[in-house]
Amino acid sequence: MLKFTCLRCANCCFFSRVEECPIVLNWEINKLRTLAELKGLRDELVFERVAKGLYRWVINGYCPFYDVERKACTIHNDKPLTCTMYPLLLNVKTLEISVSLSCEWVRKYFDELKDLGDEVPNIFPEEFKALVTLLKELKYLRLI
């Protein structure tokens, strides 16, 4: 059985278009600002409101918390839900779940991932937990 393993390709942490940037919840913004202040990055965080309680974290290039040299997230245990659930993607309007083709692991195993169905929680266990948490948050905010 396949199980997702991050290949540290950094594709999830590099953004060339605003549409690719993570969507974050209001409480996550506060957490990110606190972490940024501790790391001297406060001025690098920009957020745009997309809906009640939802914001796009606008990043141009690498995430300010990404260590390019080590190929690692410097806030891994505190990163936003959308980052934690990657390469799983959620369309908030349709509630459709997909996997990102930007992820090297997904591309490597694409043929085996075509029809995931009920296997998503087994293949992406930690990512799926984050997705469920995000869905609960969206329901709480009455966005779904």
Residue 132 placed within a domain: yes
Structure confidence by residue, pLDDT tens digits, 32-52:
999 999 999 877 899 999 988
Bridge partners (DSSP) of residue 47 are 57
Domain span at residue 86 reads: 11-140
Residue 2 placed within a domain: no
Instruction: Give the C-alpha separation, 13 to 67, whole Å.
Output: 10
pLDDT above 90 for 30: yes
Residue 47 placed within a domain: yes
- Per the structure, the count of domains in the chain is 1
This prediction's pTM: 0.90
Residue 1 placed within a domain: no
Mean pLDDT of 93-118: 88
Residue 36 placed within a domain: yes
In this prediction, residue 64 carries a pLDDT of 96
- DSSP run (H or E) holding 68: none
- Pairing, β 96-99 against β 88-91: antiparallel
Residue 5 placed within a domain: no
In this prediction, residue 18 carries a pLDDT of 92
Residue 107 placed within a domain: yes
Residue 125 placed within a domain: yes
In this prediction, residue 51 carries a pLDDT of 86
